[in-house]
């Protein structure tokens, strides 16, 4: 496929219609996977009351999805190379849908946690096939548009997850309560599978012998990294957490060395380290890690601030995120065109806009009350504008120079970096937030303000890292 799908790849409806349908199908799939990271947050109090889940179990209802999702993404991308992206996407969405049903009908916290683990593994199978398929299937302006749409989908799932969860709780469809946050995936998942069987086009893959040693090393390294990040606060940061983090650095270093030697002997490594020799990929991944560390912390502490500091109901707490979503939608739709003219400075400008927004939150917070949460609207809108200027152009930059044979691995690294950075951001934001919280609304509000200087620092570092990106401009 060049700018359009070839006629031999279009099962029905004409070339252009099939191309649009294909993109919509896979983007809805990635939206489902991204949404389930955030939608469950507002449901945790209801889950606790209904199932009798304690604090540790509630932590694992969140971590049980995030942990396998982040750890298995690169392996999921390689399996797409081996067995075909269409097959892995459909099987992944099928598993995700069945696991969502198990979550929705879970009779106990243990069953819910187990189903969340399966959900995460299924999402890790489906998610990397999306960006890999889109970048392999389209080129030129069409590729730029679908990468924009992919980045938009990731961001909007993160920004609106809290609102969608709150609305579902408020509607209480058929008295389902918190279960609706999972059951909603069933009709959507079935629709994606049926449409995917019809419209998911054949895209080129580069199958190679599986790399079991590399897979084991990477899985162990990421597990040793992500598990402490999601469990550190709940466990009180005991010694084993720090041992795991140190061990992860050792294991990931061994993994990188093994992959280089494996490639030099003519093997097909899980991740070809030559990817990181491309400046756009290596610098872009560095910026991605920093950026999502900030976003992970911000979404986490803003949700706590709304519910514990302002004591807002789930729907009202979700509505606080709406101005950010509106700002994000405005700039994410035009960021590619702006970046085509101004290059990497657009990403720097987006990061600095977010810094300005966080300064505004510091100045305005003392005037905010549960009756006037709308005072946050302007800085959150500005934050969304900045986010939209970063997410789309950054995704385009990272994937632009990747050779077709490395698309699968690159998509896995791209998604894994996003998930690991988000988990790290939640951990770091939680360290600051919970060190200041005092168990009352005023304390939670002060703790939120204390996290904002960290986010300002992240934004400044992101703007500086943008200067390491190549001068070339994104494709129009």
Q: How many residues does the chain have?
A: 476
The predicted pLDDT at position 43 comes to 83
pLDDT (0 to 100) of residue 160: 82
Segments making up each domain of the chain, as ranges: 14-203, 212-269, 278-470
pTM above 0.95, yes or no: no
CB-side neighbour CA atoms (13 Å) of 346: 27
Rounded Cα distance between 363 and 395, Å, is: 32
CB 332 within 8 A of CB 152: yes
Q: Which two tokens stand for residue 332?
A: 């994410």
Token pair for residue 197? 């069987």
What's residue 440's pLDDT? 63
d(CA 379, CA 357): 4
Phi-psi region of 255 (alpha: psi -120 to 50; beta: other; left: phi over 0): alpha
pLDDT at res. 231: 79
Question: What local confidence, expressed as pLDDT, does residue 362 receive?
Answer: 94
- Look-up of token digits 């304390």: 443
Number of H helices, E strands in the chain: 18, 0
Per residue in 315-368, pLDDT (tens digit) is 888 888 889 989 998 898 888 788 878 888 999 999 999 999 999 999 998 888
Do 278-470 and 14-203 have the same topology in CATH?
Answer: yes
Domain 14-203 architecture: Up-down Bundle (1.20)
Residues in the chain with pLDDT < 70? 1-18, 55, 204-209, 401, 438-441, 472-476
Structure letter (DSSP) for residue 28: H
Bin 174: left if φ > 0, else alpha if -120 < ψ < 50, else beta: left
Distance between CA atoms of residues 119 and 69, nearest Å: 8
Cα–Cα dist 451/434, whole Å: 10
Tokens for 113, please give them. Answer: 């946690």
How many angstroms separate the Cα of 99 from the Cα of each of 79, 102, 329?
20, 5, 31
Cβ distance 150 to 336 under 8 Å? no
CATH 3.40.190.10 fits 278-470, yes or no: no
- Three-state DSSP state, 439: coil
Contact 271, 218 (CB under 8 A): yes
The answer to whether 207 and 82 have CB atoms below 8 angstroms apart is yes
């Amino acid at each position: 496929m060049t700018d359009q799908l070839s006629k031999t790849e279009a099962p029905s409806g004409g070339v252009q219609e099939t191309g649009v349908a294909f993109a919509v199908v896979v983007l809805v799939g990635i939206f489902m996977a991204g949404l389930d990271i955030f939608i469950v947050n507002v449901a945790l109090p209801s889950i606790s009351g209904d199932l009798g889940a304690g604090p540790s179990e509630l932590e694992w209802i969140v971590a049980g999805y995030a942990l396998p999702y982040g750890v298995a993404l690169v392996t999921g991308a390689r399996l797409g190379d081996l067995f075909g992206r269409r097959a892995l996407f459909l099987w992944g969405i099928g598993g995700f849908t069945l696991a969502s049903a198990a979550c929705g009908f879970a009779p106990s916290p243990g069953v819910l946690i187990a189903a969340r683990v399966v959900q995460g593994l299924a999402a890790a199978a489906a998610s990397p096939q999306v960006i890999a398929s889109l970048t392999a299937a389209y080129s030129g302006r069409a590729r730029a548009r679908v990468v924009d749409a992919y980045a938009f989908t990731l961001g909007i799932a993160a920004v609106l997850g809290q609102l969608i969860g709150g609305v579902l709780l408020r509607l209480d469809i058929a008295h389902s309560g918190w279960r609706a946050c999972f059951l909603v995936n069933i009709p959507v998942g079935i629709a994606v599978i049926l449409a995917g069987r019809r419209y998911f086009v054949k895209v080129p893959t580069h199958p190679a012998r599986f790399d079991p040693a590399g897979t084991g090393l990477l899985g162990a390294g990421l597990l040793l990294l992500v598990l402490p990040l999601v469990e550190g606060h709940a466990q009180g940061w005991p010694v084993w957490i720090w041992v795991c983090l140190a061990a992860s650095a050792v294991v990931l270093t061994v993994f990188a060395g093994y992959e280089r030697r494996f490639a030099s002997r003519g093997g097909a490594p899980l991740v070809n380290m030559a990817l990181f020799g491309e400046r756009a990929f290596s610098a872009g991944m560095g910026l991605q890690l920093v950026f999502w560390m900030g976003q992970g912390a911000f979404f986490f502490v803003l949700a706590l601030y709304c519910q514990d500091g302002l004591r807002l109901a789930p729907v009202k707490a979700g509505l606080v995120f709406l101005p950010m979503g509106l700002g994000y939608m405005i700039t994410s739709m035009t960021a590619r065109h702006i970046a085509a003219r101004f290059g990497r400075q657009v990403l720097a400008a987006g990061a600095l806009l977010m810094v300005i927004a966080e300064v505004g939150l510091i100045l305005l917070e003392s005037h905010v009350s549960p009756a006037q949460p709308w005072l946050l609207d302007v800085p959150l809108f500005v934050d969304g504008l900045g986010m939209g200027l970063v997410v789309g152009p950054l995704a385009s930059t990272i994937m632009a120079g990747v050779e077709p044979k490395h698309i699968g691995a690159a998509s896995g690294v791209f998604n894994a970096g996003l998930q690991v950075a988000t988990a790290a951001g939640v951990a770091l934001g939680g360290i600051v937030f919970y060190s200041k919280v005092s168990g009352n609304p005023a304390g939670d509000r002060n703790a939120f303000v204390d996290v904002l200087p960290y986010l300002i620092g992240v934004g400044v570092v992101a703007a500086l890292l943008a200067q390491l990106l190549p001068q070339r401009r994104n494709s129009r």
